[in-house]
Amino acid sequence: MDKLRRVLNNKRKLIEKKHKSNTFEVLSTYNTNEITTQIELLENAFNTYVKTHDELAQELEENSEVDSLIDQFENVSSTYMRVKANLKNMISERNPTEVRDMKKYIKLPPINLPQFSGKLEEWYTFKDQFEAMVHNNQNIDNTQRMHHLRSSLTGQAASVISSMSSDAHSYIEAWNLIKGWFDNKHLVFPTHLHCLFTQPVVQAEAPNMLKTLIDTTNNHIRALETLGRPVDHWDDVIVHTVATKLPPDIRKTWEIESAGQADFPTWKTLSAFVEGRIHALEVMQFRQGSSGKIKQLYNKTAVHAVVAQKEVKTKCQICSQPHSIYQCEMFMKASVSERQLMVKKSQLCLNCLRVSTCGAFTFSLLHG
């Protein structure tokens, strides 16, 4: 009976150990064949446990011992089923179904990996994106994860793992090392506060600059919320800080509008106000640009119309055709004496060949 108890305990411990090691970090280092082998070892251990359990239950005489043995069997069975189900899920995820295979024919644009240079105010944004795209992506192995991690890091952050190898076994250590350096809420918290309160003043009513002010503020607020800080109760401070960063005219309008409200304004109210100004400025810029183009087009059209009108009004004084005297074939083919007669007959100026008298010397076309 003691031998049966030892076998039973050994198999129980083996199954429980499989359960403890059944984590993503460990399983991600296995290929499909290795996971299949793990399932076979687990099944063999459980089958031996069941057989030993039945033999031991038959030899026990006291009901209390049998009840204890049954309770233990239920716990081990539950653990076995959870571990086996998780291992099978890993295999199914590495062998896409027919529906997933269809996605291979849909070519999507590549998604750029997030970049992290070591700036603490950028850490949580990078961490969330990298974990979603790479760390928790079960369609890639740790060798690929290590490659993506290196590609995503620059500057100070890249130097943290620069001496590490690029094999699969180094990935977990590298990722934990990066988190150890930068996932420090006691440093990240004051960094976001500093960036939030020291944003530059927007000097001009430029939509892009106002958008940057609103977006940057929201990014820092979300980061502080991630750190568990009570940002919902900081409206007074945030509103005052951001209002001092607005251009003079917009801030004046804001102060007038907010002064007429019964309650203290919230950040949501201020951001909605600024967004409204942004939309208005964008519309004004669009209209100014459109009116300028229309005016330019009108001016060009007017010039062409004047030129065309002048061309239509230009009438030869010699032959009455719609061209200038210099383009008159009759006048240009005539001799000098004939030209002089034509000019005198048409009462044109001998100098400029127009219906006027400018008092200058005789035009060269009238000389011999």
The full DSSP string for 107-139 is: -PPPPPPP-B-S-GGGHHHHHHHHIIIIIT-TT
pLDDT at 108: 57
SS3 state of residue 321 = coil
Burial class (CB within 10 angstroms; exposed 0-12, middle 13-18, buried 19+) of 299: exposed
For residue 116, list its beta bridge partners.
153
- Provide the 3-class DSSP secondary structure of residue 153: strand
- Amino acid 98: pLDDT: 41
* Per-residue model confidence (pLDDT) at position 119: 87
Residue pLDDT, tens place only, 117-173: 888 888 888 888 898 889 988 888 888 888 989 989 989 888 888 888 888 888 999
Residues forming beta bridges with residue 153, ordered by sequence position? 116
pLDDT at 311: 47
Asked whether the CA dihedral 20, 23, 28, 29 is positive or negative, the reply is negative
Give the list of residues 6+ apart from residue 289 with CB closer than 8 angstroms, or none. none
Q: How large is the angle between the packed helices 235-243 and 207-226, nearest 10 degrees?
A: 160
Q: What's the pLDDT score for residue 357?
A: 53
CB 359 within 8 A of CB 366: no
Number of neighbours of residue 86 by Cβ within 10 angstroms? 16
- One-letter amino acid of 263: D
What's the whole-model pTM score?
A: 0.42
| Residues in CB range of 44: below 8 A, 6 or more apart | none
- Stretches where the chain sits below pLDDT 70 are 1, 24-25, 61-64, 93-109, 290-314, 350-353, 355-368
Q: What is the sign of the dihedral through the CA atoms of 326, 328, 333 and 336? A: negative
Burial class (CB in 10 A: 0-12, 13-18, 19+), 107: exposed
Compute the distance between CA of residue 213 and CA of residue 140 in angstroms, rounded to an integer.
Answer: 38
C-alpha span between 196 and 85 (Å, rounded): 47
Beta-carbon contacts of 105 under 8 Å, excluding residues fewer than 6 positions away, are none
